[in-house]
């Protein structure tokens, strides 16, 4: 039977090449050491990455269906470039314009945040 000493370095292979374990810690190909408690964040990181991919795919579809030509990209680029600020601006404008039918629309019920009472002003 093979005995594994936890103090010895164990390198992973295949798609995990470069990662490994040593002394009860995992290390990355860049040399970062991961504590066991650090690994609880992997699920959150993966969920954030998945949402980012979905948001970028949605933005690509919006750019492709837009009547205004997209910004000029390099001729050698095969994939379309998504400008995040522009995609978020379009989404925000679309979201804010939903339900507004014109000047006769109901007033907004937005509550504006303030920094507290203002000092008295001299007149």
Look at the pTM and tell me if it is higher than 0.75. no
Give residue 24's pLDDT band: very low, low, confident or very high (50, 70, 90). confident
pLDDT of residue 76: 53
pLDDT in tens, 41-99: 888 889 999 998 988 888 888 777 775 555 555 555 555 677 777 778 888 888 777 65
Q: Is the pLDDT of residue 21 over 70?
A: yes
Task: Provide the residue ranges of all domains of the chain, joining segments of one domain with +.
Answer: 10-35
**Sign of the dihedral through C-alpha 114, 117, 120, 123:** positive
Tell which wins on pLDDT, 17 or 36: 17
**Sign of the dihedral through C-alpha 114, 115, 120, 123:** negative
As a whole number of Å, the end-to-end CA separation of the chain is: 90
Task: Name the DSSP class of 38.
Answer: G
């Amino acid at each position: 039977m093979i005995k594994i000493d936890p103090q010895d370095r164990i390198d992973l292979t295949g798609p995990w090449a470069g990662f490994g374990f040593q002394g009860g810690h995992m290390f990355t190909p860049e040399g970062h050491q991961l504590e066991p408690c650090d690994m609880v964040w992997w699920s959150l990181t993966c969920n954030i990455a998945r949402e980012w991919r979905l948001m970028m795919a949605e933005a690509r579809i919006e750019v492709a269906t837009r009547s205004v030509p997209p910004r000029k990209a390099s001729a050698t680029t095969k994939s379309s470039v998504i400008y995040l600020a522009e995609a978020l601006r379009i989404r925000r404008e679309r979201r804010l314009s939903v339900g507004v039918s014109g000047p006769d629309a109901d007033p907004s019920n937005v509550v504006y945040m303030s920094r507290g009472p203002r000092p008295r002003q001299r007149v």
